[in-house]
Amino acid sequence: MKSKLGIHIGFLACICFLIAQFGGIVPLALLVGYILICEENDFLRMSALKALLIVLVVYVVNFLIGVIPDILFGLFDKISRIFGADTPFSSLKAVSKIDQIFSFFSWIVSTCKSILLLLLAFMACRIKTIKLPVIDNLIAKYAGKEEE
């Protein structure tokens, strides 16, 4: 099966996942927009939405992982000032270690995203996919498609 661009459906889905991994959010959003507006193949549309949702979920998770230490350290700084501490909490050496731990979690999430997107790209070439229950349910619910 070919898309309206003349490209095989599996290859275009593969391109979506590869752009999600290497291209950034703007090229991915443009490609997903084109696919949703112009293409009619359900596999291609679901693959494009899956790539976009994976990237968005990882961005949100990494944002939260990055914000949690800042919020906690700011809160502890305020509490330590209330009790008259001379040294701010955020200047302690333990804070640096905690920051490194959260950075490690962020790296793990990003690595898992990379592996998942590359596996999905490989599978898309064969017109197959990996079931991701939460993301697949969201796509089925809001795209108006029932799960297969």
**CA pair distance 48, 40, nearest whole angstrom:** 12
Cβ pair 45, 35 in contact under 8 A: yes
- Confidence (pLDDT) at 148: 45
Enter the tokens of residue 45. 């549309």
Q: Is 132 helix (H, G, I), strand (E, B) or coil?
A: coil
Angle at 76 between CA 74 and CA 81, to 5 degrees: 95
Q: Is residue 1 part of a domain?
A: no
Q: How many CA atoms, within 13 angstroms, populate the side-chain half-sphere of residue 87? A: 6
pLDDT tens for the chain, residues 1 to 148: 898 989 999 999 999 999 999 988 999 999 999 999 999 999 999 999 999 999 999 999 999 998 988 888 777 777 777 777 666 665 666 677 888 899 999 999 999 999 999 999 999 999 999 999 999 998 988 876 554 4
Q: Is residue 4 part of a domain?
A: no
Q: Is residue 2 part of a domain?
A: no
Q: Is residue 86 part of a domain?
A: yes
User: Phi then psi for 4, rounded to 5 degrees?
Assistant: -70, -20
Of 1, 11, 15, 22, give the one whose Cα is nearest residue 110.
Answer: 22
Q: Is residue 97 part of a domain?
A: yes
Q: Is residue 32 part of a domain?
A: yes
**CA pair distance 51, 71, nearest whole angstrom:** 30
Quote the domain boundaries for residue 117. 9-143
**CA pair distance 111, 8, nearest whole angstrom:** 28
